[in-house]
Amino acid sequence: MSHNTFGHLFRVTTWGESHGPSIGCVIDGCPPGLALSAPEIQAALDLRKPGTSKFVTQRREPDSVRILSGVFEDDRTDGPRTTGAPISLVIDNVDQRSKDYSDIRDKYRPGHADFTYDAKYGFRDYRGGGRSSARETACRVAAGVVAQKVIDHIFPGVVIRGCIVQIGASEIDRAKFDWAQTTQNPFWSPDADAAKAFEAALERARKNGSSLGAMIEIVASGAPAGLGAPVYGKLDAEIASAMMSINAVKGVEIGAGMRAAALSGEENADEIRIKNDKPHFLSNNAGGVLGGISTGQDIVARFAVKPTSSILTPRKTITRDGAETEIVTRGRHDPCVGVRAVPVGVAMMALVLADHALRHKAQCG
């Protein structure tokens, strides 16, 4: 039982605060012999890091990762490899600017965890949100790289991708969905036209000191049928937990998702045929999961990210001592935190699948 650990056999324990000296994680349970080096992790971190466009926080963090353990380069192997021992990753914080946050020491920012941390612990590291900051998600992205290697090792061919399908009132057109587009715009939009709408909406929000919510879609393709487990270890239950644990997420759905409430039995259940000698589903309302176990179709999860609560409009709040007041949060923030949540969602899907791959191997491999 650990509040800062994710996973059962592929376990990631993260630590660190937004404005402490460093953040990091320890990855335990990784199979031995996998090629792993810091630059590979760095490449993934660079996709999430702050300061990459005007639509994400202007905090300047190089997010340089170091591997402190669990990897060894024997002269008999071709480059560094995992040894089966815990992998310790550390990322130093560089651009903390703690003074930016001094005025939130005594006031609770609405929509943030300031009030709830004080309620729970009687005390909080208020610098940049401390432990509740989305800075923690850098560790998830780093661990996700290792998770992907574990998946590749056990079930080669699984591809996990993420995109944004909605920002504020703008949604993508499913007819124009193209994964290749997601790397061509700063919003991970799979629809080039929607990317323009996203940009316009965010530009407006940014100028107004406002912010917008977003809907992220994560798809894992190529996973075999039979991955997952019944009852409380269901693949979709763990995806739900994984995505909901990302900062600012308020809802998660699989396949038809919330829309399933409005369907009839005929519309919903995916019929099955044989194609190329393999089971072939005629639709994917299940989102690739039945009874908590994968069907072999795409595993499709979507999650809603609320607009960041750090906005320039004064908001009613209270002080730590219970006095009514107002607050404007002047930090360097993202007008749409959903944008940086895409690589985090991809990483969380990888963590769930890697963990389930090991669990499957243990019981049924």
How many residues belong to the site for its own copies (CB under 8 A)? Answer: 158
Q: Does 187 bind its own copies (CB under 8 A)?
A: no
- Report the residue number, 180 or 326, with the smaller CB distance to its own copies: 326
- Report the residue number, 180 or 207, with the smaller CB distance to its own copies: 207
- Report the residue number, 33 or 184, with the smaller CB distance to its own copies: 33
Q: Does 20 bind its own copies (CB under 8 A)?
A: yes
| Residue type at 90 in one-letter notation | V
Q: How far apart are CA 331 and CA 130, in angstroms?
A: 14
Q: Does 32 bind its own copies (CB under 8 A)?
A: yes
* Interface residue with its own copies, options 188, 294, 342, 349 (CB under 8 A): 294
Handedness of CA 20, 114, 106, 325 (dihedral sign): positive
Q: 35-94: which residues touch its own copies (CB under 8 A)?
A: 66, 68-70, 72, 74, 77, 81, 83-88, 90
List 249's β-bridge partners, or say none.
305
Q: 247-286: which residues touch its own copies (CB under 8 A)?
A: 247, 250-274, 277, 279, 282, 285-286
Vertex 35, ends 29 and 37: CA angle to 5°? 95
Q: 297-336: which residues touch its own copies (CB under 8 A)?
A: 304-311, 313, 315-318, 322-324
Residue 75 token pair: 């002269």
Give the CA distances from residue 325 to residues 122, 131, 311, in Å, rounded to whole numbers and listed in that order.
20, 25, 16
- Report the residue number, 115 or 180, with the smaller CB distance to its own copies: 115
Q: How far apart are CA 9 and CA 351, in angstroms?
A: 10
Nearest to 228, CA basis, from 355, 103, 42, 56? 355
Q: Give least dist CB 39 to its own copies, A.
A: 17
Q: How far apart are CA 117 and CA 320, in angstroms?
A: 11
- Report the residue number, 180 or 261, with the smaller CB distance to its own copies: 261
* Interface residue with its own copies, options 57, 132, 185, 189 (CB under 8 A): 132
Q: How far apart are CA 114 and CA 135, in angstroms?
A: 15
